[in-house]
Amino acid sequence: MTSSLFDLTGMRALITGSGQGIGLALAEGLAQHGAEIVLNGRSATKIEAAAETLVAKGYKARSAVFDVTDHAAVAEGVAEVEATVGAIDILINNAGMQFRTPLEDFPADKWDELLRTNISSVFFVGQAVARHMIARKRGKIINIASVQSELARPNIAPYTATKGAVRNLTRGMCADWAKHGLQVNGIAPGYFKTPLNQALVDNPEFSTWLTNRTPAGRWGDVGELIGAAVFLAGPASSFVNGHTLYVDGGITTCL
């Protein structure tokens, strides 16, 4: 039996960027603990297929297709979910992208795209959902940060900048919205086997470096993020606010 501290029955979660990888894993994890899931992405085909996969497993899931980098589309999309599906109790801002190249060669258009996808989307969706949560005096927002919120590595400086911003925006959201009954926290994954990281997973040199650098000595599995998400989404974290939880196998503890 699920402890009441981790029971999400009767709660509804909107998860951005949830057609695959971490977003889809978190969606299924929250569904396992009783939450109804609203999957979000730009591709109707991918998001609807992901929702059908969850429904086939016996979970309550549906899709909401809108572009999280478009402020107007976000406002319209969130309003539609609230009006036609029901109140959003939990928001996980997971949408993100990566682009790797030396900083001196980094294209300006990719810089702009990273900012829109990795940080503007967190503000757009967070603000739109929070307005409804504030009116209800309750709500959980979880922003997906990264070990790159704390660390840097060659060729991903703009990504590092966006994830550092996610960590501090999480703090700022807490400062503004905790008084309204919201808990806003972050999860900072380490190196996980996801489609976003597939090129690194397939690179023997990088994988060797990573396993030597990480105290746990391995890549993470996306299922290992579920516990952190359930904790921050449920009653157990009622007095946890403005915190970023690193789930990284210990990599941020070592030089």
Task: State yes or no: is 246 an active-site residue.
Answer: no
pLDDT in tens, 34-61: 999 999 999 999 999 999 999 999 999 9
pLDDT at 2: 56
Strands (E), the chain: 12-15, 36-41, 61-65, 90-93, 139-144, 182-189, 244-247
pLDDT in tens, 80-117: 999 999 999 999 999 999 999 999 999 999 999 999 99
pLDDT greater than 90 at residue 199: no
Answer for the pair 185, 245: CB distance below 8 angstroms, yes or no.
yes
Closest to 26 measured CA to CA, from 133, 142, 117, 198: 142
pTM exceeding the 0.85 threshold for the entire prediction: yes
pLDDT in tens, 236-245: 999 999 999 9
pLDDT at 197: 84
Q: Which of 59, 159, 191, 246 is catalytic?
A: 159
pLDDT greater than 90 at residue 195: no
Is 245 in a helix, a strand, or coil?
Answer: strand
Token pair, residue 53, equals 């996969």
d(CA 186, CA 248): 13
pLDDT greater than 80 at residue 254: yes
Closest to 44 measured CA to CA, from 25, 60, 64: 64
d(CA 117, CA 94): 10
Please give the CATH number for the structural domain made up of 4-247.
3.40.50.720
d(CA 54, CA 93): 19
pLDDT at 3: 78
Answer for the pair 134, 182: CB distance below 8 angstroms, yes or no.
yes
pLDDT at 78: 98
pLDDT in tens, 154-175: 999 999 999 999 999 999 999 9
d(CA 184, CA 79): 20
Query: What is the Cβ-side half-sphere exposure of residue 206, based on CA atoms within 13 angstroms?
Result: 13
